[in-house]
A and B are shown apart, each in its own frame.
Chain A
Amino acid sequence: DGGITQSPKYLFRKEGQNVTLSCEQNLNHDAMYWYRQDPGQGLRLIYYSQIVNDFQKGDIAEGYSVSREKKESFPLTVTSAQKNPTAFYLCASRRSMNTEAFFGQGTRLTVV
C-alpha cells in the first residue's frame, strides 16, 4: 500500500540534544512538507520541498533543519536551538501544486 510513514511515533529528547524525525513516502510525490501542531491549534509550516536537493523555509523554520537527498525521504532535525520543541509533528506529501496533501500519522516529541 502506498503511503507516508513517520517514525518514531513517540520521541523523548533531553534539553540540548538534537533529534531527527523520519518521513518516508512511496507515493512518488514530488513535494513534501513538515508541519508542527500544538494543542488546540492548527498546522504551522516548518519547511517544504518541491524537488530533490531543494527546500524552502516555512513560517517557523528557526531551530529546525531538513534535507532532501532522495525523492522518498524528507527527514526533519529538531536542533537544540529550538526553544520549545515539545509538539506533534506531521509530514505530508503532494503529487503536484493543485492536488491534495496526504499526511503521515505524526511524531509526538516531548522534551524531558
Chain B
Amino acid sequence: EDQVTQSPEALRLQEGESSSLNCSYTVSGLRGLFWYRQDPGKGPEFLFTLYSAGEEKEKERLKATLTKKESFLHITAPKPEDSATYLCAVHQGAKETSGSRLTFGEGTQLTVNP
C-alpha cells in the first residue's frame, strides 16, 4: 500500500529563519512527486513536480529536492506570507490497475512570524 508521511506536522519559524519540510514515501514505481501549498479554506495550489532522484526545482524562496525515499521542501529566509499548509502527493504507476490516483500526505502547517 502506498504510504506518504510528512513531517513535522507543524512548524513555527521566525521571519528569515530557513528550514526544511520532509515528505517520505513508500511506493513501487514512483511516477511523480508533487508539492502543493494550501491556504485556509482554499484548494491546494500546485508548486512543483519531481520525477527522479536527484532532481531539484526552485521557485522564489522554495526549493524542492527528491531522493529515492523522500523529498524535501527547503524554505530560505521565509516571510509571513509563506505561512500555509504544504502538502506532498505521489503518483504510483507500476500497477496497471492503480489508474491515475494521487496519494497525499497529511501536510505540514507552516507559520512564519514577523
Contacts and interface: CB of A to CB of B under 8 A. Distances in A.
A56, A97, A106: residue with the most chain B Cβ atoms closer than 10 Å? A97
Main secondary structure on B side of the interface with A? strand
B41 A108 contact: yes
B106 A42 contact: yes
B87 A43 contact: yes
B63 to A, nearest CB: 17
A35 B46 CA distance: 16
Contact of A101 (B31, B42, B46): B46
B72 interface: no
Interface residues of A, number: 31
Contacts, number: 69
Contacts of A94: 100, 102
Contacts of B102: 33, 45, 94, 101
A48 B97 CA distance: 13
Nearest to A101: B102
B34 A100 contact: yes
18 contacts: A31-B100, A33-B101, A33-B102, A40-B109, A42-B6, A42-B104, A42-B105, A45-B102, A48-B101, A56-B99, A58-B101, A94-B102, A97-B100, A98-B91, A100-B49, A104-B43, A105-B43, A108-B41
